[in-house]
Chains A and B, each alone.
Chain A
Amino acid sequence: QQQVKQSPQSLIVQKGGISIINCAYENTAFDYFPWYQQFPGKGPALLIAIRPDVSEKKEGRFTISFNKSAKQFSLHIMDSQPGDSATYFCAARSGGYQKVTFGTGTKLQVIP
């Protein structure tokens, strides 16, 4: 019940295209859903996050869509760029200082 399921495992997108990564969870106690971006050899860096009382959050080219009833959320990267090539992790947390539970990751490659 603590798991966060993420798909796809890998994704290849043309430059300028839309990258979409999907996640699902079971634990209704999760109250904060961050997305992390990780480049090889680096730590995860917070990209964007959403709370379940909001259905969508947009920051620049990155948008989170959240469906509370379906317990699903997704990351959309508009106008994908080669510099976006990285591994993306969805995650979830319950409570202010609690641990972050990570999804399995999606390796995104944006090709010119």
Chain B
Amino acid sequence: DGGITQSPKYLFRKEGQNVTLSCEQNLNHDAMYWYRQDPGQGLRLIYYSQIVNDFQKGDIAEGYSVSREKKESFPLTVTSAQKNPTAFYLCASKAGGANEKLFFGSGTQLSVL
């Protein structure tokens, strides 16, 4: 079955540590997105990629980095520069066309030890 997979489901970060959240899709979608969800804040865009080897910053990119070396994969690294990383992270992908729906992964809950 086609879908989008995020791992791990839960992740803990020590202070000063970089951690990487995985996002893989087998839907053959060109576009992929990372959103951060905090209580009462809705979904805020971190980074997005419309095509392999290209990506753009979203509204809250500081302290995060991404890569898009393969169409199927769009990992997100939360760096030590991100001082408040505790949040729920959602990855999504979409086929071409503005009216196409977003396909979401099941999310990763990141917490600080």
Query: Real complex partners, A and B?
Result: no
Q: Which residues of B contact A (CB under 8 A)?
A: none
Q: Which residues of A contact B (CB under 8 A)?
A: none
